[in-house]
């Protein structure tokens, strides 16, 4: 088998508030593509919406977009080939040392996601590009970037890999990952699977790391 180029786009859903005021889950999600076709199509959708008089001053973002826009985006991306994988951490079951800081928890979440994902999708001769949506302030974003870089150095099964950390507005494929993470969050945290149905056939794995029966910490 000849070497391939494997392209992974990553995003997260949830927050770092470890109390009842925060999100129930922290979700790491990745979208693996073999081409940029779905991203190109999303840019084309943006232009078509403009022709219809729908003003979009920012990138597609599932949390903020209207239901009409969401339906358009989900209907579009469901037509394209990609694989989506998710690791869900129910935060109230996280041991104190795991959540000692946002950076520690973030690294832990990405480590378990990549440890299970990469051996399935990357061969030793492949070339891998991982693009992760940057979050937080400039200083926080830098620390999160270091965390993901460290995770990749421990988990990537090929020597040929690169990592990039971009704002979601810079690449439409990151916006696809955002939409997929949002749909999974709606399913698990809000009990609403209606948006998830658009992407259900794309989901290769959906793993809940912490389960009922473990100790709750709040």
Answer yes or no: is 203 within a domain: yes
- So what's the pLDDT on residue 55? 87
Domain CATH for 58: 3.30.420.10
- Kindly compute the dihedral angle of the four CA atoms of residues 47, 71, 204, 207, in this order, to the nearest 10 degrees: 120
- So what's the pLDDT on residue 198? 98
Answer yes or no: is 78 within a domain: yes
Answer yes or no: is 213 within a domain: no
Residue-number span of the structural domain to which 204 is assigned: 5-208
Answer yes or no: is 109 within a domain: yes
**Residue pair 167/158 in contact by the 8 Å Cβ criterion:** no
Answer yes or no: is 110 within a domain: yes
* Alpha helices for the chain (secondary structure H): 37-51, 67-77, 102-121, 138-155, 172-190, 196-199
Cα–Cα distance between 38 and 78 in angstroms, integer? 9
Closest CA to 181 of 107, 109, 104: 109
127-133 sheet: strands from edge to edge? 161-166, 127-133, 5-13, 25-33, 83-90, 203-208
Closest CA to 174 of 72, 56, 33, 55: 33
- So what's the pLDDT on residue 1? 56
Answer yes or no: is 52 within a domain: yes
**How many structural domains comprise the chain?**
1
Q: What share of the chain is helix, strand, coil (3-state, %, to 5)?
A: 45, 20, 35
Strands 127-133 and 5-13: parallel
Cα–Cα distance between 134 and 113 in angstroms, integer? 17
Rg (CA), the chain: 17
Model pTM score: 0.94
Answer yes or no: is 218 within a domain: no
10-residue mean pLDDT series, the chain (218 residues):
87 96 97 97 97 93 97 98 98 93 95 96 95 85 92 92 95 98 98 98 95 77
- So what's the pLDDT on residue 213? 60
Query: DSSP of 179-197, one letter per residue?
Result: HHHHHHHHHHHH---TTHH
Q: Give 50's contacts (C-beta < 8 A, 6+ positions apart).
A: 56
Answer yes or no: is 217 within a domain: no
- So what's the pLDDT on residue 3? 76
């Amino acid at each position: 088998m000849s070497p391939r180029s494997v392209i992974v786009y990553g995003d997260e859903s949830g927050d770092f508030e470890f109390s009842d005021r925060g999100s129930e889950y922290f979700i790491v999600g990745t979208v693996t593509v073999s081409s940029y076709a779905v991203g190109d199509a999303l840019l084309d959708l943006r232009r078509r919406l403009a022709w219809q008089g729908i003003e979009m001053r920012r990138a597609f973002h599932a949390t903020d977009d209207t239901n009409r826009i969401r339906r358009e985006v989900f209907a579009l991306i469901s037509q394209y080939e990609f694989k989506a994988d998710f690791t869900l951490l129910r935060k109230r079951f996280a041991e104190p040392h795991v959540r000692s800081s946002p950076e520690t928890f973030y690294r832990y979440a990405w480590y378990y996601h990549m440890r299970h994902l990469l051996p399935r999708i990357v061969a030793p001769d492949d070339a891998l590009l991982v693009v992760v949506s940057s979050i937080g302030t400039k200083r926080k974003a830098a620390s999160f970037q270091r965390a993901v870089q460290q995770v990749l150095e421990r988990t990537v099964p090929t020597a040929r890999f690169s990592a990039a950390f971009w704002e979601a507005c810079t690449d439409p494929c990151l916006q696809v990952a955002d939409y997929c993470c949002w749909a999974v969050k709606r399913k698990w945290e809000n009990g609403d699977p209606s948006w998830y149905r658009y992407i259900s056939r794309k989901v290769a794995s959906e793993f809940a790391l912490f389960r009922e029966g473990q100790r709750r910490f709040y």
